[in-house]
Amino acid sequence: MNQLSFIADIELKPLVKLIRMLGINCRYDGGMSLPEIITIATSEQRILLTLKSIAATQKLNVFRFSSYEPIGQLRQLNKAFNLKDLAAPFSRCLICNAELIETQPTPDVPNSVLKRNIPVYRCTECRRLFWHGTHIERMKDQLLEAGIVF
């Protein structure tokens, strides 16, 4: 993989959503075992995000958090990797990590969104629809709290 990408272990689910808000590739599957996560991290050249003491190797890049709080973890990750320079905010699905593409509104888009004539995005994998509603400001506030300003 050419761009920076992560894989998070099971303890970091809340952090994963924050990373994906930034549009940064972060794989997560709560059903994977640690050996499976390590295998994927090495084969896909992803940085393993964890709270555990796992030794990095020549093939495995590990980032260990000292904070147990998601905003604090994002702060640590931002300090280490300058995430703002890598970010494409709100361009990934928060659920499955795939990229979003702009699409035409469908009947399942609320009328309030249609009336405001704002762009609608579809996940390329799970097909969920997204748009920039009032929740975007709350999400931006979370990123700001972690020291990431856009």
Spell out the domain ranges in the chain: 6-86, 100-145
Residuewise pLDDT in 10s, the chain (150 residues): 348 999 999 999 999 999 999 999 999 999 999 999 999 999 999 999 999 999 999 999 999 999 999 999 999 999 999 998 899 999 999 999 999 999 998 888 999 999 998 999 999 999 999 999 888 999 999 999 999 987
Whether 44 contacts 61, CB under 8 Å: no
The pLDDT assigned to 149 comes to 81
Residue type, 20: R
pTM of the model: 0.91
- CA–CA dist 78, 2 (Å, integer): 19
Q: What's the confidence (pLDDT) of residue 1?
A: 38
